[in-house]
Every structure is written in structure tokens, then in C-alpha cells.
Structure 1
Amino acid sequence: MPAGHATISYLALGDSYTIGEGAAHADRWSVQLAALDRAQGGRLANPDIIAHTGWTTAELQAAIVASGNHRRDYGLVSLLIGVNNQYREQSIALYRAELRELLATAVAFAGGNGGRVVVLSIPDWGQTPFAHDRDRAQIGREIDEFNAVAQAECQRAGVAFVDITPLTRAAMGEAGQFTHDGLHYTGPQMAHWAARTLPVVQALLR
């Protein structure tokens, strides 16, 4: 690219929802986000990803340390984490403390600029086919509690927060929105997440 038009580096942190468990690489919401940005004339590069199915906040933080990635120049860092904390019945207080640490880590990856970090809310897995024999309402209430903490901690850290949870609830009953395991989401559903996140990211990158 011409001088002044270099791509903007991007790091996506999270769990199975960040890697798009069961979906193609190109269907991952973070990859779709970058593609949408470029389609509108932006310069967001495809993301580096530190994420794995099943990770809690503590496991993500440990994996970041183990990764040896010490960059401090990412133009954008995204974070989507917490569903496994809720699934394993970990406390809200623990989630708050560990998320606070992860947010500091994310901001450090962005060169200390919280204005280059975006957090997505936790999807409501209680509205997935996988949860057909679970207490869907209870799961939803707990997800809301975790997301309230996430939103408050983002505000405290000066980090953008995007609420995608209603999109995941709207997917209930639509088979094409879920992968073969009935728990994770297909490209069309993650496209909604990317589209909702795009204007927030574009504002951050201006």
C-alpha cells in the first residue's frame, strides 16, 4: 500500500465464540469485522487470535502470558470472554477481578490506549439448542449479571462495549444460526455481531 495507508493491526482475544467453534475461519466474527471494514474503505487487517474453546478469564490471561506475544502496537484489540466462567458457576466477584486484569492487558496490547479496545457482551447460550434441557431463564439472568459487570468494567477502563446478547437471543429456533453442536454460532449469526461492532470500531479508529 502507499505510504500512510498501512493496515491497522488487530488482536482478537477470547474463547470459542472468538474462534467460531464449528464454523469456517472466514466466518469468525472478528475476521468478518475486518472484511467489512476493508469493504468500506478501512484498513483493518485480519486478526491475530488468542482464543480457545472452554477458556475462562483466568485461562485466557494465562494463555496470553504463555503466548510470548509482547506487542504493544496493535491498532485494535477485541475481547469476548466470560461464558465459561458462568457455565462453570464461578462467582461474579472473581469474574470482575479477572476481567479487570484482562482489560488492562488488552489496553497494554493497544499501546496503553483504551480507545483502541472493544469488548463484546457474552452470548446467551441458554437460548441455544444445546440448552434444551436446562433452565433457560436462569442462564439468561446469570448472563445478564455477567454482562452488567463487563459493561461497568469497560466504562471504568475507558473501553468500548458492544451488546450482542440480544442478537444471540433472537437466533433461538433458527437452525441455520447454530453449528452442528447446537451451542456455537454459524457465520450468518456472527455476521450480525460484526455488523453491530463495525460502527463502534470505525469510530475508535478515526
Structure 2
Amino acid sequence: MKINTWLALGDSYTIGEGVPLHENFPYQALQLLRNRGLLFHAPEIIAKTGWTSDELIAHMQQVRLQQEYDRVSILIGVNNQYRGMDVKDFETTLEWLAAKALQFTNGHAERVVVISIPDWGVTPFAQDRDASAIHDAIDRFNAVNQKLSREKGFHYIDITTDYRSTGMLQESVVEDMLHPSGKVYKEWAQKVAEVFYIEK
């Protein structure tokens, strides 16, 4: 029986900054998929805390990846927003990532998921920041994510809406009061696993 492969591209939200490896969303999704009878290798995670979309691309160009993957997930852009980078530049880099994702999946757009950027402005870490400005900026970046997903035929997963109502809770963040807890990642994992399962 075929064992599926998964390339998870992103930043701190993909590696799960502040939580054990098994609590990040790719590994929790992996367990859900295996529980439903799908065979998956451990996700190949290309992500680092603090990476912008262009830094992710720079790293991808320096490492040897497989030629094909059965699934690709993309969750990137929060650091572009955090550093005040231009949305147009983000759109350009996202186009590059989209082209690579299609190449990796041999043109199967339905096997690619783009996950929306969570709104860190609701977290305790950001209590002295302009939450409204962060909210609006995150929306602009996510509009790019959603538009590209629609145009390419990717699955777009909105985790931002729910996070805006729970991200300020103590149980929703780790010790740094910024990054999501394993409990939050479980919710994201369920959404990703559902998409990956129906596209088996």
C-alpha cells in the first residue's frame, strides 16, 4: 500500500514554537490521518520561527527536496506583516510558492492547502499593540492567500476567524504568550486532516 508524503512549508506556526513536536499541527494531523487508515510518512517540515515568505523561498533554494509530494501545506506571511513588509511583495513570493507546490504535486492543485495567517494581535503578547491595525493588516495578507487559492484551485483553510475569538485565552497560548498552544493546533490539524482525507 502506498505511503503518502507531505511537505509542510511555513514559519513558527508550522514547527509549533513552544510546543513539543508531536503537538504541532502537522504531526497532530498526521495522527488523525493514520487513525483513519491513511498511510503517511512523517511530514517534511521546512519552516523556522521568524521566517518571511522570501526567507522560506531562500531556504528552499538551498536544500534538496524530493521531486514529488502527495500533499503540500503553506502557512506563511505573519512575519511579512510583523515587519511591515509590502503586501504586493508577499503576493509575488506566494505565486512562487504556489508554482512550486503545483510542481511538487504534479499539477494536483487539490492536494495543496493554504492556511490563513492567525491574528497575533489578539494574544496577550500584543496587549500594548494596536490590535485594530494588526487585524486590518492580517486581513490584507489573508486576502492574498484566499485569492491565490481560488485562482490556483488550492484548498484555503480559514483558521483566523476562530483564533480571533480564542487567541487571547490562557489555554490558547504557550509560555511566550504569543504562539498557539497544542490545543489550538489540534483544531487546525482537524481542518487540514479533513481536506487531506477527502483528497486521498
What is the match of residue 51 of structure 2?
55
Q: 1:159: Cα distance to partner?
A: 1.1
Aligned ranges 1:1-206 → 2 under 5 Å: 5-69=1-65, 71-205=66-200
CA distance in 1, matches of 2:47, 2:147: 23
SS of residue in 2 equivalent to 1:104? helix
CA distance in 1, matches of 2:167, 2:116: 17
CA distance in 1, matches of 2:46, 2:72: 11
SS of residue in 2 equivalent to 1:66? coil
Q: 1:112: Cα distance to partner?
A: 2.8
2:13 partner amino acid = Y
- Listed one character per residue, the Cα deviations across residues 157-194 of structure 1 (whole Å, up to 9, x for unaligned) are 22111001122212233212111111101111100001
The answer as to whether partners of 1:167 and 1:192 remain within 8 angstroms in 2 is no
Q: 1:109: Cα distance to partner?
A: 1.7
The answer as to whether partners of 2:167 and 2:180 remain within 8 angstroms in 1 is no
Structure 1 vs Structure 2: percent identity of aligned residues? Answer: 41
- Listed one character per residue, the Cα deviations across residues 52-103 of structure 1 (whole Å, up to 9, x for unaligned) are 011111000011111121x222110111000001011111111111111111
CA distance in 1, matches of 2:167, 2:26: 22
Instruction: Give the length in aligned residue pairs.
Output: 200
CA distance in 1, matches of 2:199, 2:77: 23
> Unmatched 5+ residue regions in structure 2?
none
CA RMSD of aligned residues (A): 1.1
CA distance in 2, matches of 1:28, 1:19: 6
Relative distance call for 1:116 and 1:72 in structure 2 (3 A) is farther
Q: 1:17: Cα distance to partner?
A: 0.3
Q: 1:39: Cα distance to partner?
A: 0.8
- Listed one character per residue, the Cα deviations across residues 20-42 of structure 1 (whole Å, up to 9, x for unaligned) are 00110000101111111111122
Which sits farther off after the overlay, 187-196 or 39-48? 39-48
The answer as to whether partners of 2:167 and 2:173 remain within 8 angstroms in 1 is no
Relative distance call for 1:138 and 1:144 in structure 2 (3 A) is same
CA distance in 2, matches of 1:110, 1:94: 25
